Amino acid sequence: MDRAVYVVSDLHLGPGWLPGGALDPLEDFTADRDFARFLAAIGTTGVPVELVIAGDFLEYCQTLPEIGLAAPEDGLGSSEAESIRRTEVILGRNPAIASGHPEVFAALRRFMIEGNSITIIAGNHDIDLLWEGVWARIFDTIYPPGAAGDLRLVRYAYTLGNGQRGRVYIEHGHEHDRANRFGDRMEQPFGIDRTGTRRLKRCWGTLFVDKVYNQLERERWFIDNVKPILRVVKLGLRNDLVFTATALGLVARFLLTSGLPPLLGAAAAGEGEAPDMDAVVAAIADPDLRTALEGQLADAAFRAEFERTVQAAGAAELAAAVAGAAPQLTLDEIDVVTGGEVVLGGGVGDAYRAAARAALENDPTLSTVVMGHTHGPLDGYSEPIDLPDGRTGYYFNSGTWTLHLKDEQHRSYSWAEIADERNYTASYTYVLLEPDGHGGFVPRLGSWAA
């Protein structure tokens, strides 16, 4: 039976609320009750529907962040046991740490009790779902035994429809982002560390969250709302000098040392003398960051905080980095989106549209591609894709249910305005795929309000 399909993405359910009642500063999802109402509204019409969560359903990087910092190698992250610990927090089973999101999981279970189906696509922030033990816990929490609908996990991409045209291809979209791709369509998500422990592979974007953004966001909850990073520099230097020195110290340390071999300098940790900060800055390959830092080191307060943060890497590691022991990333490679706007997650870049065009050209039965990842909702009818065989295709983005700055595409915000919660809103966007009666679907971008 053809059924309507609702596609959402980028919920980023993380630790939730702390035991004292405050929101964990690393939590991005606060729409628990609204999402539960959305599920009740679409799932109790008497006609079964399918919900597709197109990646980044759960936020593992910012749940128990100490796990990411403790990983023994940059290219590898959580073990299965560590991902399970994070899952238990998100599910709400460790209230001594944080509340998690039990209301959302209860609502998903009720949604299935009504006869509906759920498909979850793994994204770059919840690749942990590919652990058998993690998925078993998620499955048992959501799936009511004997349910009429299906609950499935999709490793990378999901295609809907069985007609000769009008089929829909859905993926998260992270593989088209230099910082967050794994390079293998999630086919080989695991690796073995030097101790023989099986761990998840870790992309640059996740490593950057683990080593930089988590610390900064605990101090300034709004910090990851500013893209690109140099926008943080320009705003912060004028309004929050010491914090910006910390931020730039963490970024510089990340760029210099994150490519070092895992055993380099381990035997000599703490030994020797750390390089001078002028030498550290001179060794930074990214010209924009190097120029910004060179202009600030004369300020004593800035220099002291920058030096304190950078030297936490260790003298041996810094010396090796300054000597060129590892290739360096650039700011462009760790910024999800290039461009000058102050946005949450960024807009839609050409790489995603190009990938959508390629998928449409490769399969003439497809008419629509849906992605998430960028947090920027996109109505595919606004920019249809004309294909070489005369067909017209459409690329939609389902957006996010997390907060974003109001009017983000039409104005720039000051540092104080970015820190003001009153300047944020949530769009609750989704893509509705309605059956066309011929084995295909007609897409529509929607926004749900409680």
What is the sign, positive or negative, of the torsion defined by CA atoms of 353, 354, 357, 362? negative
Q: What gap in Å lies between CA 47 and CA 447, rounded to an integer?
A: 21
The predicted pLDDT at position 30 comes to: 96
**Pick from 81, 65, 55, 57: which is nearest to 199 by CA?**
81
Per-residue model confidence as pLDDT tens for the chain (450 residues):
579 999 999 999 999 999 999 999 999 999 999 999 999 999 999 999 999 999 999 999 999 999 999 998 889 999 999 999 999 999 999 999 999 999 999 999 999 999 999 999 999 999 999 999 999 999 999 999 999 999 999 999 999 999 999 999 999 999 998 889 998 999 999 999 999 999 999 998 899 899 988 999 999 988 877 766 677 777 888 889 889 999 889 988 888 887 766 544 443 444 557 788 999 999 998 888 888 899 889 999 999 999 999 988 888 888 888 888 777 777 766 654 333 333 333 344 589 999 999 999 999 999 999 999 999 999 999 999 999 999 999 999 999 999 888 876 656 788 888 889 899 888 999 999 999 999 999 999 999 975
Backbone angles phi, psi at 442, to 5 degrees: -110, 120
Backbone angles phi, psi at 274, to 5 degrees: -70, 150
Helix residue ranges per DSSP H, 285-349: 287-294, 300-311, 315-322, 331-334
Tokens representing residue 79 in the block: 């073990």
The predicted pLDDT at position 334 comes to: 60
What secondary structure letter does DSSP report for 113? H
The predicted pLDDT at position 343 comes to: 31
Angle at 204 between CA 231 and CA 233, to 5 degrees: 15
- List the end-to-end C-alpha distance of the chain, in Å, as a whole number: 29
- DSSP for 204-262? HHHHHIIIIIHHHHHH-TTGGGS-SHHHHHHHHHHH-HHHHHHHHHHHHHHHHHTTS-T
The predicted pLDDT at position 98 comes to: 98
Q: pTM for this structure?
A: 0.90
- CB atoms under 10 Å from CB of 133, counted, come to 12
The predicted pLDDT at position 267 comes to: 39
Tell me if 378 sits within 8 A of 395, measured CB to CB: yes
Tokens representing residue 284 in the block: 């930074």
Domains of the chain plus CATH, in order, are 5-189+346-447 (3.60.21), 229-334 (no CATH)
